Amino acid sequence: MLPRFHVGEDFPLQPGSVCELPDGPARHVQVLRMQPGGLIQLFDGQGREHRARVTEMGRKQVTVEIEEKVPNHRELPVRVTLAMGMPANDRMDALVEKATELGVSAIQPLVCERSVLRLDGERAAKKVAHWQAVAVSACEQSGRAVVPQVHAVQTLQSWLRDAAEGTDGTARHKGVLSLRDAVSLRRWLHDKVDPTAEPRAKGQLNQSVGGDDLGFMFLSGPEGGLSPAEEQAALDAGWTAITLGARVLRADTAPLAALSVIGATFE
C-alpha cells in the first residue's frame, strides 16, 4: 500500500490537477524523504481517494499532480454509531482509534451520572478536535476513505431527548449494552439478517436494514456503567437491552466488542 494521507473534502481531487499539499500531509511526505516522481494516495474523508505523484519538493511545500481514482471498498455495509460515556485518561483516544479501524460511522461522547471525565465548553471542543484527528490517523493507517464523525460532547439526558425527537439523525436499530437480563447481541441481530440464506451470504440483509436508512446505534456507559435510571430512560425511549455475554467488560471494551460482532455478521 502506498503512503496514504487525508487532505480534506475541499482539496481538488481531480485527475490532472496540480496543487500543493496541506501542511500536515506535506510534512509527512518530507519526513519520508520522498522525491519527485514518488507516488502517494490522497483521500478526502468522504469516500474519494486518488493516486498522486510528487512533482516538486520545497523546503516547506510539496506539490503533487492528481492521477487516477483508487477504488476503496473498506466501509462496513451498515452504519454504526457508538454513543458512550467517555472513559477517563487516554482510554477515549484508544477507543476512537480502534472503533475507526473496525469501521464505526460516528462517535457520540457523553457525560453520564457516573462519568469520571466531565467536559464542557472550550475544553470539550478541544478534546473533540483531538479525537477527530485520532480518527483521521486511524483511517490513514487502516485504509478507510471515510472518516467517522466525532460529535460534540453532550450530557446523556439531553442526547436521549434529541434522539427521541429525531433531531440527531439517529439509527433505526438501537441497543443499550447492559448487564441486566437482556437479549444477546447475536440473537438481536438474527432478525436483521435474511434467515432464508443458507449458508448466509455476506451482506445478505433484510429489507428492514437495507438502503440509505440502514443503521445501528449502541449506547454504553462510562466506568461504573449507566445508572439504573439512565438505562431505564433509554429503554422507555424504545431502546433494547443488549448483552455481550457473561463477563463484565470495561467501558472501553464493550463498544468495540459490539462493533466487532456487527462486522462479523454483515461483512
DSSP 190: H
Do 55 and 118 sit in the same domain of this protein?
no
Q: How many residues does the chain have?
A: 267
What pLDDT score was predicted for residue 35? Answer: 93
Q: Is residue 90 part of a domain?
A: yes
The residues, any chain, with a CB within 8 Å of residue 95's CB and separated by 6 or more, are: 84, 87, 252, 255, 256
Q: What is the pTM of this model?
A: 0.87
Quick check: 104 and 74 in contact, CB under 8 A? no
DSSP 89: T
Distance CA 180, CA 244 (A): 11
48-81 pLDDT tens trace: 999 999 999 988 899 999 999 999 999 999 999 9
Do 43 and 169 sit in the same domain of this protein?
no
Quick check: 116 and 145 in contact, CB under 8 A? no
Do 217 and 255 sit in the same domain of this protein?
yes
Which range of residues forms the domain containing residue 26? 4-69
Distance CA 32, CA 61 (A): 14
Do 102 and 12 sit in the same domain of this protein?
no
Give the chain's domain count. 2
Single residue among 28, 46, 69 that ends a domain in this structure: 69
- For residues 86-109, give the mean pLDDT: 95
Q: Is residue 75 part of a domain?
A: no
Do 51 and 117 sit in the same domain of this protein?
no
Q: Is residue 51 part of a domain?
A: yes
Q: Is residue 9 part of a domain?
A: yes
Look up the CATH number of the domain holding residue 247: 3.40.1280.10
4-60 pLDDT tens trace: 999 999 999 999 999 999 999 999 999 999 999 999 999 999 999 999 999 999 888
